[in-house]
Structure 1
Amino acid sequence: MAWQWFHRLGSPRWFYEKSNRWLTWLIPLTLVLLATGFIWGLAFAPIDAKQGNSYRIIFIHMPAAVVALAGYYVMAIAGGIGLIWRMKLPLMMMKSAAPVGAVLTALTLITGSLWGHPTWGTFWEWDARNIFMLILLFLYLGIVLLGSVYPSRDAADKACALLALVGTVNVPIIYKSVDWWYSLHQPASIKFTGESSIYSSMLYPLLISVLGYYCLFSLALILYTRHEILVREARTKWVKDLLPLHSKGGRSASL
């Protein structure tokens, strides 16, 4: 049963049809979580004793960083599954996850710079975590570029999967960089093995924002993957049967 489910999950058609249902509840859930987390954190969370209101960018910055790192694992695992079992859908998801992860990583670096200016007095420091987050952005962008420069799709998928797997070594380095090297970054405020150093009035909207970002990543990944499925499966019968319905609807609407 589990093996059948695993192979069904690798079917582009099954994913495309099932994801229609997922989108109906994922879209409103994403909007509610992000709106709740941002409004609570940016407008109603208390002022920080040391950083004042400038700390509020954490409700945008930290969730983006967390999901950018987790998204890289999603991309690498999908690439590994596609490479080992030669399954099409995981390779499509790997390619689709790269631009989403790149945007989140860029958002992390931009908001970190905006936060760093009032905190450190500069927009950028060659801090260990900053450097490895920049490397993460280059890895995401590298996979985006590799997916487009190879004339053979199979060769592009293999190259992207190998780069994604090799790049996973960078993610734990980012997590532990503030512990391994002297760093301007403060240690983690949220801890799962010990007591967190953040007040609950700040923690709750932050966690809601993190959940919202996870939903946003999932939503973007599904939409990108659905598009990739239509592009790669354009010659299959089920896609040919699906696309004329949209084109007929578009012609009737234009008339």
Structure 2
Amino acid sequence: MNPLVRWFHQLGSPPYFDRFAARWTPWCYLAAIVLLGVGLWQALFVAPADYQQGDSFRILYIHVPSAWMSMFVFGLMAFYAAIALVWRIKLCEILAMACAPTGAAFTIITLATGSIWGKPMWGTWWDWDPRLTTELLLLFLYLGVMGLYGAIDDRRNAARAAGLLAIVGVALLPVIRYSVVWWNSLHQGQTIRVFGESSMDSSMTLPLVLMVIATKFWFAGSLLARARADNLRREAGKDWVAKLAAGKGAAP
């Protein structure tokens, strides 16, 4: 068997995943904290002020990575949920549901920083702009997934029902992405492009790159920590969990 395929099969084992998550969660958080520190310092003290918005544009370094993560996490949640529904892989159910709280947090940060940024730019804290409105709908979807998962006692049935909502809700992501193109919008158009030339000056991009990578590491740490906790709750009563609680380590 291919070593990578064998590793994925091993990762589906609850004791193996517990050891994997316990090992890598602290490193993910550490990398996130270091990158966040450097990225924020670059954003606040190194990057030049915008020629139109002045220093108020600096909230972009929190707003944009959070907005990207709010959509990325929902897409990943739907991906895990689809795998869980098709192949009945319990770990994917756990990972899908572990995505929701962190994704909701990133969405809240996006909406809050967008409102703060919008006040000096638009003269109002909130406008029913297509981008803002669809991002708010994304938050409701996250809350719906979390609420549905918590409302059903059977964990596997709860994960399947909530996962189905996530799969249906993924249709909102392209609407959020292209809302500034399809409708008249107060929200500025796309300034940063992965492919093609960006309209953002290169002197301002390094802090953004650092913040984007930092949010990825933070999400990875949060995902592993939440999934590990849910995995332990589901496996409570098993011998390997008892040994772990007794300080003897997980069973092989």
Relative to the length of structure 2, the TM-score reads 0.94
Match of 1:53 in 2: 55
Given that residues 12 and 88 in structure 1 are in contact (C-alpha distance below 8 angstroms), is that contact kept between their aligned partners in structure 2?
no
Structure-2 residue corresponding to 1:253:
none
Paired position in structure 2 for 1:135:
137
Conserved 8 A contact 2:102-2:222: yes
Aligned to 1:85: 87
Q: Distance in 1 between matches of 2:151 and 2:30?
A: 36
Question: How much does 1:125 deviate?
Answer: 0.6
Q: CA deviation at 1:209?
A: 0.4
Task: From 153, 156, 159, give the equivalent of 1:157.
Answer: 159
| Structure 2 counterpart of 1:21 | 23
1:117 aligns with 2:119: yes
Q: CA deviation at 1:88?
A: 0.9
Deviations 1:69-91 (A, max 9, x none): 10111111111111111111111
| Aligned position for 1:206 | 208
2:33, 2:50 → 1: CA distance?
Answer: 27
Equivalent residue runs for 1:1-255 within 5 Å: 1-2=1-2, 3-245=5-247
The answer on whether the counterparts of 2:148 and 2:158 sit within 8 Å (CA) in structure 1 is yes
Give distance in 2, aligned partners of 1:121 and 1:24. 42
Counterparts of 1:148 and 1:207, CA distance in 2: 36
Partner of 1:252: none
Instruction: Return the offset for 1:127.
Output: 0.5
**CA apart distance, 1:185:** 1.0
Name the SS for the 2:157 alignment partner: helix
Instruction: State the superposition RMSD in angstroms.
Output: 1.3
Structure 2 gap ranges (5+): none
SS at structure 1 position matched to 2:78: helix
Is the CA contact 1:71–1:97 (under 8 Å) kept in the aligned structure 2? yes
Unaligned runs of 5+ in 1: 247-255
State the 1:21 CA deviation: 2.5
1:249 alignment counterpart: none
Question: 1:213: how far off?
Answer: 0.6
Distance 1:211 1:16 in 2: 25
1-structure distance, mates of 2:192, 2:88: 39
Query: Which runs of 4 or more aligned residues in structure 1 lie more than 4 Å from their structure 2 counterparts after TM superposition?
Result: none
Query: SS at the partner of 2:186?
Result: coil
| Aligned length, in residue pairs | 246
TM, length-normalised to structure 1 = 0.93
Q: CA deviation at 1:235?
A: 1.6
- Measure the CA separation in 1 of the matches of 2:247 and 2:143: 35
Q: What amino acid does structure 2 have at the position aligned with 1:63? A: P
- Kept in 1: contact 2:118–2:126 (CA 8 A): yes
Q: Name the aligned partner's letter for residue 118 of structure 2.
A: G
8 Å contact 1:42–1:59 — kept in the other structure? no
AA matched with 2:69: V
Q: State the alpha-carbon separation in 1 of the partners of residues 198 and 94 from structure 2.
A: 38
Which structure is higher in RCO with an 8 Å CA cutoff and minimum separation 6? 2
What amino acid sits opposite 1:240 in the alignment? A
Tell me how far 1:244 sits from its aligned partner: 2.3
Write the deviation string for residues 91-132 of structure 1: whole angstroms up to 9, x where unpaired: 111111101100110010000000000000001110111111
Contact 2:25 2:220 in 1 (8 A): no
Q: In structure 1, give the amino acid aligned to 2:14.
A: P
Instruction: Assess if the C-alpha contact under 8 Å between 1:96 and 1:221 holds in 2.
Output: yes
* Residue aligned with 2:206, SS: helix
Does structure 1 retain, via aligned residues, the 8 Å contact 2:78–2:170? yes
Distance in 2, Cα, partners of 1:11 & 1:181: 47
Cα displacement (A) at 1:24 = 4.3
